[in-house]
């Protein structure tokens, strides 16, 4: 079925890789956010660790974003069009699967914003030296870290829910 779609033959394995990298991304973003807790009080003692987690988060975001883009055509044909958007294929769950498809669309937007913020945050914490530049931006850095963390968790949960309805390897 639709084997002319790019990566269709290996889609299941790419989806597994996407999930593994996504899990690592959620872990890195969560650690980064937790390590910025003290930034709310302008305490930047853990700045070296925050920098490492910010770079790791941005790199994992880029990798997972690339894998997701590569397997998106398979998702669009095998899951979205063939199942989630087809009332005949999904009956009697059309309302539910239609909602899942809409949440997946929201996830795509959230992840695009999260990716952009993660890259910007990595650039900020790499350039910023609290001892040289002051600590006034520390709360904003923490807020951005928590935003990135929330975007990764949201994407992971929506991705898992979508896959529980129909995976691309089906």
pLDDT of residue 54: 98
| DSSP annotation string for 3-29 | TTSTTGGGHHHHHHHHHHHHHHHHHHH
Model confidence at 105, pLDDT cuts 50, 70, 90, reads: confident
Residue 2 has pLDDT above 50, yes or no: no
**Better pLDDT: 126 or 71:** 126
State the Cα–Cα distance between residues 142 and 39, nearest whole angstrom.
Answer: 6
Q: What is the pTM for the complete model shown?
A: 0.83
State the Cα–Cα distance between residues 139 and 137, nearest whole angstrom.
Answer: 6
Q: What is the mean pLDDT of residues 137-162?
A: 95
Residue 111 has pLDDT above 90, yes or no: yes
pLDDT of residue 148: 98
Residue 152 has pLDDT above 80, yes or no: yes
Residue 61 has pLDDT above 60, yes or no: yes
**Better pLDDT: 75 or 115:** 115
CA distance between the termini of the chain? 10
Cβ-based neighbours of 27, under 8 Å, separated by 6 or more: none
Residue 170 has pLDDT above 60, yes or no: no
**Better pLDDT: 112 or 94:** 112
State the Cα–Cα distance between residues 24 and 150, nearest whole angstrom.
Answer: 14
State the Cα–Cα distance between residues 76 and 83, nearest whole angstrom.
Answer: 10
Q: What is the mean pLDDT of residues 126-150?
A: 97
Q: What is the mean pLDDT of residues 27-43?
A: 97
């Amino acid at each position: 079925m639709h084997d002319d779609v790019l990566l269709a033959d290996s889609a299941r394995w790419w989806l597994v890789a996407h999930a593994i990298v996504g899990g690592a991304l959620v872990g890195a973003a969560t650690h980064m956010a937790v390590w910025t807790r003290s930034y709310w009080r302008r305490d930047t003692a853990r700045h070296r660790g925050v920098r490492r987690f910010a770079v790791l988060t941005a790199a994992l975001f880029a990798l997972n974003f690339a894998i997701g883009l590569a397997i998106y055509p398979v998702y669009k044909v095998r899951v979205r069009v063939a199942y989630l958007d087809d009332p005949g294929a999904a009956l009697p769950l059309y309302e539910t699967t239609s909602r899942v498809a809409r949440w997946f669309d929201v996830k795509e937007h959230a992840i695009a914003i999260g990716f952009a913020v993660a890259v910007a945050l990595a650039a900020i914490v790499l350039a910023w030296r609290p001892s040289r530049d002051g600590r006034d931006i520390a709360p904003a850095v923490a807020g951005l870290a928590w935003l990135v963390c929330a975007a990764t968790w949201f994407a992971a949960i929506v991705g898992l829910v979508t896959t529980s309805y129909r995976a691309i390897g089906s």
